[in-house]
């Protein structure tokens, strides 16, 4: 698995060399057949010493790639908030699996927002007036147009 952002594999960034797969041990290739044990050990130690110089640019490239992905995602995210008195449906994943299987209702409600808490958490009231005992996250809601 080559990382597209910096071109190195996680194995090469950890150990400083390319990985040798078991089939290369059984069937000699140029890379495994032309190995001098003494010089190979010296090169391994040298690779370990120079490894930090290879990790720094890779970490910078990964940070740039992560920042680019974050900007791309955040540009397309819509903030959804419900005001007090708004109605919506609540996803019922647990009941959905038991009651009707995949043909059962996926949403239940409508519910009304009675209190807005922090980070997308809301207190709800059902249509018959009972207040639900716990808070609910906005990820489980779908707007209801009554």
Domain endpoint, select from 49, 76, 103: 76
What gap in Å lies between CA 124 and CA 1, rounded to an integer? 47
- The domain total for the chain is 2
Q: Are residues 72 and 91 in the same domain?
A: no
Q: What is the structure's pLDDT at 27?
A: 72
Residue 25 is assigned to a structural domain of this protein: yes
Helix ranges restricted to H, 27-92: 30-33, 37-76
Residue 43 is assigned to a structural domain of this protein: yes
Q: Are residues 70 and 114 in the same domain?
A: no
Q: Are residues 22 and 70 in the same domain?
A: yes
Q: Are residues 95 and 66 in the same domain?
A: no
100-137 pLDDT, tens digit each: 777 777 888 898 999 888 888 889 998 898 998 888 88
Q: What is the CATH number of the domain that holds 125?
A: 2.30.30
Residue-number span of the structural domain to which 43 is assigned: 10-76
Q: What is the structure's pLDDT at 146?
A: 76
pTM, two decimal places:
0.49
Domain endpoint, select from 46, 76, 106: 76
Put the strands of the sheet holding 107-116 in their side by side order. Answer: 136-137, 121-126, 107-116, 87-91, 141-143
Q: Are residues 94 and 65 in the same domain?
A: no
Q: Are residues 49 and 92 in the same domain?
A: no
List the helix and strand counts (H, then E) for the chain.
5, 5
């Amino acid at each position: 698995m080559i990382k597209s952002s910096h071109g190195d594999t996680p194995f090469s960034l950890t150990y400083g060399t390319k990985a040798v797969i078991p089939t290369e041990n059984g069937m000699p290739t140029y890379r495994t057949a032309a190995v001098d044990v003494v010089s190979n050990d010296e090169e391994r130690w040298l690779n370990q010493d120079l490894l930090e110089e290879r990790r720094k640019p890779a970490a910078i490239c990964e940070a740039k790639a992560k920042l680019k992905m974050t900007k791309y995602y955040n540009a397309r995210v819509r903030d959804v908030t419900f005001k007090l008195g708004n109605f919506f449906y609540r996803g019922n994943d647990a009941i959905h699996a038991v009651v009707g299987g995949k043909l059962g209702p996926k949403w239940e409600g409508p519910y009304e927002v009675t209190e807005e808490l922090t980070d997308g958490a809301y207190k709800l009231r059902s249509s018959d007036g009972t207040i639900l005992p716990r808070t609910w996250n906005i990820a489980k809601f779908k707007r209801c147009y009554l």
